[in-house]
Amino acid sequence: MKVIFDANGGDNPKEIIKGAVDASNEFNIDIIFVGEENFINDCLNDLDYDKDKISIVGASQKIENDEDPAFALRKKKDASIVVALNLLKESKADAVISAGSTGALLAGGLFLVGRIKGVKRAVLPTSIPGLKKSTMIIDSGANMDTDSILLKQFAQMGSVYLKEYYNIDNPKIALLNVGSEKGKGNSLAKETYELLENSNLNFIGNVEAREITNTEADLVLCDGFVGNVLLKGIEGIAEFILKSLFYTLKTGHGSDNEKQFMSNILGNFSKKLDAKEVGGTILLGLEKTIIKAHGNSDAKAIKNACAYAIDIYNKELINKIKNNLGEN
């Protein structure tokens, strides 16, 4: 397998290169770095790797997070994201991993690589930990405005993803809403509810935001605006709670053994919330495997994103979405 890494994207390019090299060494894969050649070579000089497994394609530009994605894609032809996605389109590799601009990666995936036939929009699935199990949120930020037909298609793709990647048979799908009863919500929620209720999907009804960490649903469906606000809210509250508990533990009374015990518990909980443990998420609905890594990814996160991409590729997820899309 061969993976392309956007070496200009993200906040820590040295970490991206190190993580990619670690992945090549551990998983025995070939790598193409796309970015500033001199910088990449300087970073590689400090690392041990098989030179036959790593190549570099130059790209002098970078698309920043504050740039308009569509305009930047047209203007910056030598941006690393553009060059990487064109290489993927030409089947020079099997996957792309980027920690760069989400908007540019999504727009480039749509316009340069292309959508699966019949797919109207690509989506970002994000898994959040819960009391009983993890729950997938779709969409977590790719589509700010949607309609009920799009949401149903997001649910279809998510259902295939959960079945084929996570081995969840007949995934349970819930619609994020302001109340659990049928008939709650705005017009979009009501229309989507009707479509899902009359589909072949395993739809179990509405779920409120406060129930997401304790829901029976495997997938919670919403548009990208609501999903992104939800995730950032969860992240912020979780960070506040953890910091408060660690501070209380540090300044409170108790023996050293008691403090160490509680510190270990909090450390394990913190690890469950750490995005670096997963590394990235796929842009569902595109013709090729494109993985979005977190902007501040370190080497560990990039290596884990690569492991995730390898699993996606080996499980032939994209082909299975193509084959199953019309069944529901």
Task: Report the distance separating Cα 212 and Cα 141, nearest Å.
Answer: 17
pLDDT for the residue 251: 74
Task: Report the distance separating Cα 69 and Cα 272, nearest Å.
Answer: 32
Instruction: Give pLDDT < 50 ranges for the chain.
Output: 327-328
pLDDT for the residue 262: 61
Which tokens hold the place of 217?
């649903």
pLDDT for the residue 271: 57
pLDDT for the residue 240: 83
pLDDT for the residue 328: 47
Q: Note the pLDDT tens digit of each residue in 152-184.
A: 999 999 999 999 999 999 999 999 999 999 989
pTM: 0.87
| 3 state DSSP class of 146 | coil
Q: Contact at 8 Å (CB) between 311 and 305?
A: no
Q: Note the pLDDT tens digit of each residue in 47-74.
A: 999 999 999 999 999 999 899 999 999 9
Q: Note the pLDDT tens digit of each residue in 99-109.
A: 999 999 999 99
For 2-120+278-319, the fitting CATH number among 3.90.45.10, 3.40.718.10, 3.40.50.2300, 3.40.50.970 is 3.40.718.10
Phi-psi region of 271 (alpha: psi -120 to 50; beta: other; left: phi over 0): alpha
Task: Report the distance separating Cα 138 and Cα 152, nearest Å.
Answer: 11
> Are 2-120+278-319 and 126-251 equal in CATH topology?
yes
The closest of 215, 214, 183 to 197, measured between CA atoms, is: 183
Which one-letter DSSP state was computed for residue 97?
A: E
Query: Which DSSP string do the residues of 4-71 spell out, in sequence order?
Result: EEESSSSS-HHHHHHHHHHHHHHHT-EEEEEE-HHHHHHHHTTS---GGGEEEEE--B---TTS-HHH
Which residue spans within 53-193 are E strands per DSSP? Answer: 54-58, 95-98, 126-128, 135-138, 172-176
Q: Quickly name the fold that domain 126-251 has.
A: Isopropylmalate Dehydrogenase (3.40.718)
Where do the structural domains in the chain lie, given as residue ranges? 2-120+278-319, 126-251
pLDDT for the residue 277: 59
Give me Rg for the CA atoms of the chain.
21
Chain centroid to CA 317: how far? 15
Q: Contact at 8 Å (CB) between 69 and 103?
A: yes
pLDDT for the residue 253: 65
